[in-house]
Chains A and B, each alone.
Chain A
């Protein structure tokens, strides 16, 4: 049994030892301990090194606000977590923890040298120190910063845990289960309203867990707590979530609650999620977040053994741990006196209480003296000593005029400090609720709410136990009432409460040179009072700028213990009142939250859907390599034994042009446009003329935005006077439908037109090649496939392989081609039948890459590859697709804006490299003169580039300024290693007379 464990105290299970390691050393704790309380029970205060100066750091607090005691936790492969606060980490048998930020060891760390060079690391050091000489940046500064940056080590393998998420609705959500939150939940629960009570700690109670001595309604506090917890547990309308942090408060009473399910367990239950994110919509919210104790700012306030007084009281009363044997207390608030007396009663030698205030309530002074504690009111602390643990504290008297007198030293192994308490207004602030500055109490308090919410207890500035219970009860009852239930706040009686008051101070007065003082404001980011004053001297006036320049409040603790001290010092330095300096914005999450909890189930294959066509399974079985195209996965190419992509694509292209290729085009977007005004609607949407398109005919359609730029394209078939089968690009399908719906619903609601997405209703098999007609002729019923009856750009309905089809004669390869639409459920069967029948023609499946090559050989564009949202139809060489006689269509007016008519607009052209074997890189820049000085003027870029097997050379498409007028000229394409020459050509490289297409 360690000498720091107090046998008769605490809520831990004294009969159940648990063993854990810290930096490889084995320790014993108790069931119910946090890592912090268990280490303190073993006399360990030194738990880490600070971020910037690598100063030894100890445990500052007992709660989630902890800035110093960050540890790495490891429970097997992938299950390691950096920066876990030791004060919230529950110990279990076999827990493995390490300290962070030091090398080679916690006790001997070479990084401490930073501490000696602290002048280099003052406010804004990032912006100053590493500016000069310039040549040092890459080789010296950046590696140094990268090596030193960051807290802890992130895991290097994927997280094996699962994370759950859940939606919930309730009438009243209560955040915090201290006295105010408990009273609120009890009253609201009794009304029958549906309640969720959430608390970040392992058990309910909040500050009551540290105050066993009080009496509530005739019961000792902990007995009352047990009764209350039992009542809530027994109420079917109440859900109690412990180990659950309300991380964010969003619009309209929507809160995120992160529940830690397994982190505290010795063995992980099979299949249990590690954490669960609750997304709760509440009718009414009660915020009872409590308050956070403020440190005092003085030289050496970060030495291990210096901690918050209220936290020392928590370690004693809740965990049965003395934080030291010989304590000194320094405070500006009564509450630390109670901590001192509690510690003295437990056998800690409390040498002295130093109170900044000249006068302190007599009853406290008497009580302290009765416990043999020396009382020094109107004194200050000006320094601490001790290498890895505080060993003495330097104290001085301060005269009424503010003069600091002669110092004396008091030996101690623990220095407890208290600068008052800050109401936790974080969640209230997330809602943009206004915070009002209370000048007398020197604190920000919740003002007018923007949501259906109430604050209660210490989080609302109501600190006394009785007042907190009463305010909580009232908040709970009125929240339930506003949610439509009948509720009334009950009354409370309290025994043994000592009311506490205090004052707020900035840095403590000192007789020493304050410019060499290491008086820390932000422990985690190593920001001192001097840094904040320096920032103000250098011209920073706004608290938001001071924050970013000094990095105060920007660490993982988000300044929970430092914001108000930093603000007080900044406001003193800029000589403006605190509310005029303002508070920085609180943002979710309240405490660090895992990415896993946010992601929930949506990771891996569930991150987003993979859309697969009806024919996808055949492609997979036949060795296709896939590529993602929007959410679809498409067969990219079909390599045969030993082939790489280049060889496979060359073979696929060759086979298609020589005989017959088969291609799965099912992902094409499809929209059925039906109604008496269908033709008029398409006329207004697309650039082309549609009125005269006869049923049974297809036409290429071009869709612009109102700005005149190409948005989408596709082939549109007219099936009858009032029915069109519209195809879109694969990625554009949803966008095009949304645009059409927008115009139809809001601009032209008078048109009688209906739009239906049919993308997934049709499987589309493209057959291309000289033998395409021979293959399908015997399989098709009801359609005359002869060239005269069914020429290029025709559509007809009939049957193929015994199932209904909309048969398109159309080609995206330049070969005789058909696109066979069949209901998706028949897609694979028809594909397989065609493939079997096609063996006589050496039918070859080809993928998207071969499709891209063959369409580029014909100069057919791909919207989004050859266009980028800045090309007009004319720029893309598609001026022919504009219905000149049409009075209007979407985008028409923009085409005559002066900028659209300039001769030097980038135009789509063909490119042939001087060296036919060179395949340019897509995206490569194009310049007119390769010998001009850098930076060169770029006149365009390569949009598509391939090896063309049909031509036995490379081909490319490019956009070039005034490109069409430059046809025949040579341009230069700088690429890694070499600048290539290429000639500007027309866009059609293969069969410009379309003889094959019309065969």
Chain B
């Protein structure tokens, strides 16, 4: 069972306190009406599904209830770091440093 650090509680807690909430850094378009069908389809359904570093959303549902973002490796399952929703995507250097 993974340990996940909630950036709001600033505490590491077991995975069972959290739920996964899909890929991170996908913002709802400000005005969906102006999007073509193709653009809207891409927003709705197309995800990166990488082998390796994945930016994803989690929610501390049985804790503070807040959503946050995480960087996790889809091969090892391990978290590199977590950060609050709304913050920019961490750089490769930041992820490397968090892993070391």
| Chain A residues at the B interface, C-beta cutoff of 8 Å | 250-252, 254, 279, 281, 432, 450, 706-707, 738, 741-743, 745-747, 749, 887-888, 892-894, 897-898
Are A741 and B3 in touch, CB under 8 angstroms? no
Given contact pairs A706-B44, A745-B66, A738 touches B61 in the complex (Cβ within 8 A)? yes
Contact sample, A vs B, 5 pairs, CB 8 Å cutoff: A251-B2, A707-B44, A745-B67, A749-B86, A897-B40
For B32, B35, B66, B78, which residue has the most chain A Cβ atoms within 10 angstroms?
B32
- Of all chain A residues, the one with the shortest Cβ separation from B30 is A888
Are B2 and A252 in touch, CB under 8 angstroms? yes
In the complex the two chains form, what is the Cα distance from A450 to B40 in whole Å?
40
Chain B interface size, as a band, is 20 to 34
- Of all chain A residues, the one with the shortest Cβ separation from B15 is A251
Q: Please report the number of residue pairs spanning A and B whose Cβ atoms sit closer than 8 angstroms.
A: 56
Contact with A along B24-58 (1 / 0, CB 8 A): 00011001110101001100100000000000010
Given contact pairs A252-B2, A745-B67, A747-B28, A432 touches B76 in the complex (Cβ within 8 A)? yes
Are A252 and B1 in touch, CB under 8 angstroms? yes
Given contact pairs A887-B33, A888-B32, A894 touches B44 in the complex (Cβ within 8 A)? yes
Are A450 and B76 in touch, CB under 8 angstroms? yes
In the complex the two chains form, what is the Cα distance from A707 to B1 in whole Å?
33
Are B1 and A888 in touch, CB under 8 angstroms? no
B64 → A minimal CB distance (Å):
11
Which of A251, A706, A741, A749 lies in contact with B1, CB distance below 8 A? A251
Which residues of chain A are within 8 angstroms of B65 by Cβ–Cβ distance?
741
Given contact pairs A450-B76, A742-B21, A893 touches B33 in the complex (Cβ within 8 A)? yes
Are B85 and A745 in touch, CB under 8 angstroms? yes
- Of all chain A residues, the one with the shortest Cβ separation from B35 is A893
Given contact pairs A250-B1, A450-B76, A888 touches B44 in the complex (Cβ within 8 A)? no
B75 → A minimal CB distance (Å):
9
Which residues of chain B are within 8 angstroms of A888 by Cβ–Cβ distance?
31-33
Report if B77 contacts A (CB, 8 A): yes
- Of all chain A residues, the one with the shortest Cβ separation from B29 is A893
For B2, B28, B35, B85, which residue has the most chain A Cβ atoms within 10 angstroms?
B28
Which of B15, B35, B76, B85 lies in contact with A746, CB distance below 8 A? B85
- Of all chain B residues, the one with the shortest Cβ separation from A737 is B65
Which residues of chain B are within 8 angstroms of A706 by Cβ–Cβ distance?
28, 44
* Majority secondary structure of chain A interface residues (helix, strand, loop or mixed): mixed
B67 → A minimal CB distance (Å):
5
B99 → A minimal CB distance (Å):
13
Are A742 and B67 in touch, CB under 8 angstroms? yes
Are B67 and A746 in touch, CB under 8 angstroms? yes
- Of all chain B residues, the one with the shortest Cβ separation from A250 is B1
- Of all chain B residues, the one with the shortest Cβ separation from A897 is B37
Which of A254, A741, A747, A894 lies in contact with B40, CB distance below 8 A? A894
Are B32 and A892 in touch, CB under 8 angstroms? yes
Which residues of chain B are within 8 angstroms of A281 by Cβ–Cβ distance?
3, 14
Are A898 and B37 in touch, CB under 8 angstroms? yes
A680 → B minimal CB distance (Å):
15
Given contact pairs A742-B67, A887-B33, A893-B40, A747 touches B2 in the complex (Cβ within 8 A)? no
B8 → A minimal CB distance (Å):
10
Which residues of chain A are within 8 angstroms of B61 by Cβ–Cβ distance?
738
Which residues of chain B are within 8 angstroms of A743 by Cβ–Cβ distance?
28
Which residues of chain A are within 8 angstroms of B66 by Cβ–Cβ distance?
745
Which of A252, A432, A894 lies in contact with B3, CB distance below 8 A? A252
A172 → B minimal CB distance (Å):
18
In the complex the two chains form, what is the Cα distance from A897 to B59 in whole Å?
31
In the complex the two chains form, what is the Cα distance from A743 to B78 in whole Å?
27
In the complex the two chains form, what is the Cα distance from A682 to B31 in whole Å?
17
- Of all chain A residues, the one with the shortest Cβ separation from B37 is A897
In the complex the two chains form, what is the Cα distance from A894 to B42 in whole Å?
12
A526 → B minimal CB distance (Å):
37
In the complex the two chains form, what is the Cα distance from A2 to B50 in whole Å?
66
A281-B14, A897-B40 are known contacts; what are 19 more A-B pairs with Cβ within 8 Å?
A251-B2, A251-B15, A251-B77, A252-B1, A254-B1, A450-B78, A706-B28, A707-B44, A741-B65, A742-B59, A743-B28, A745-B66, A746-B67, A749-B86, A888-B31, A893-B35, A893-B40, A897-B41, A898-B37
Contact with A along B4-23 (1 / 0, CB 8 A): 00000000001100000100
- Of all chain B residues, the one with the shortest Cβ separation from A887 is B33
B7 → A minimal CB distance (Å):
13
In the complex the two chains form, what is the Cα distance from A707 to B21 in whole Å?
17
Which residues of chain B are within 8 angstroms of A892 by Cβ–Cβ distance?
32-33
In the complex the two chains form, what is the Cα distance from A893 to B31 in whole Å?
9
Which residues of chain B are within 8 angstroms of A450 by Cβ–Cβ distance?
76, 78
A740 → B minimal CB distance (Å):
12
- Of all chain A residues, the one with the shortest Cβ separation from B79 is A252
In the complex the two chains form, what is the Cα distance from A738 to B19 in whole Å?
11
In the complex the two chains form, what is the Cα distance from A741 to B61 in whole Å?
11
- Of all chain A residues, the one with the shortest Cβ separation from B1 is A254
In the complex the two chains form, what is the Cα distance from A892 to B34 in whole Å?
12
- Of all chain A residues, the one with the shortest Cβ separation from B22 is A742
In the complex the two chains form, what is the Cα distance from A165 to B78 in whole Å?
26
Which residues of chain A are within 8 angstroms of B44 by Cβ–Cβ distance?
706-707, 894
A458 → B minimal CB distance (Å):
28
In the complex the two chains form, what is the Cα distance from A723 to B78 in whole Å?
43
Q: For the complex of A and B, list the 6 residue pairs with the smallest distance between their C-beta atoms, beginning with the closest.
A: A893-B32, A254-B1, A251-B2, A252-B3, A745-B67, A746-B85
Which residues of chain A are within 8 angstroms of B27 by Cβ–Cβ distance?
747
A618 → B minimal CB distance (Å):
33
Which residues of chain B are within 8 angstroms of A432 by Cβ–Cβ distance?
76
In the complex the two chains form, what is the Cα distance from A738 to B55 in whole Å?
20
Which residues of chain B are within 8 angstroms of A898 by Cβ–Cβ distance?
37
In the complex the two chains form, what is the Cα distance from A747 to B15 in whole Å?
25
Which residues of chain A are within 8 angstroms of B77 by Cβ–Cβ distance?
251
In the complex the two chains form, what is the Cα distance from A897 to B14 in whole Å?
41
Which residues of chain A are within 8 angstroms of B1 by Cβ–Cβ distance?
250-252, 254, 279
In the complex the two chains form, what is the Cα distance from A746 to B56 in whole Å?
13
In the complex the two chains form, what is the Cα distance from A850 to B32 in whole Å?
42
Which residues of chain B are within 8 angstroms of A279 by Cβ–Cβ distance?
1
In the complex the two chains form, what is the Cα distance from A745 to B76 in whole Å?
29
Which residues of chain A are within 8 angstroms of B3 by Cβ–Cβ distance?
251-252, 281
For A281, A707, A746, A749, which residue has the most chain B Cβ atoms within 10 angstroms?
A746
For B1, B77, B86, which residue has the most chain A Cβ atoms within 10 angstroms?
B1
In the complex the two chains form, what is the Cα distance from A898 to B36 in whole Å?
11
- Of all chain A residues, the one with the shortest Cβ separation from B4 is A252
For B15, B41, B67, which residue has the most chain A Cβ atoms within 10 angstroms?
B67
Are A746 and B37 in touch, CB under 8 angstroms? no
Which residues of chain B are within 8 angstroms of A894 by Cβ–Cβ distance?
40, 44
In the complex the two chains form, what is the Cα distance from A738 to B65 in whole Å?
9
For A251, A706, A887, which residue has the most chain B Cβ atoms within 10 angstroms?
A251
Which residues of chain A are within 8 angstroms of B67 by Cβ–Cβ distance?
741-742, 745-746
In the complex the two chains form, what is the Cα distance from A707 to B37 in whole Å?
12
In the complex the two chains form, what is the Cα distance from A252 to B59 in whole Å?
20
In the complex the two chains form, what is the Cα distance from A743 to B59 in whole Å?
13
B32 → A minimal CB distance (Å):
4
Which residues of chain A are within 8 angstroms of B2 by Cβ–Cβ distance?
251-252
In the complex the two chains form, what is the Cα distance from A551 to B92 in whole Å?
45
For A738, A743, A898, which residue has the most chain B Cβ atoms within 10 angstroms?
A738
A672 → B minimal CB distance (Å):
15
A319 → B minimal CB distance (Å):
39
A451 → B minimal CB distance (Å):
10
- Of all chain B residues, the one with the shortest Cβ separation from A747 is B28
Which residues of chain B are within 8 angstroms of A741 by Cβ–Cβ distance?
59, 65, 67
A170 → B minimal CB distance (Å):
15
In the complex the two chains form, what is the Cα distance from A894 to B44 in whole Å?
9
B55 → A minimal CB distance (Å):
13
In the complex the two chains form, what is the Cα distance from A888 to B30 in whole Å?
9
Which residues of chain B are within 8 angstroms of A746 by Cβ–Cβ distance?
57, 67, 85-86
- Of all chain A residues, the one with the shortest Cβ separation from B41 is A897
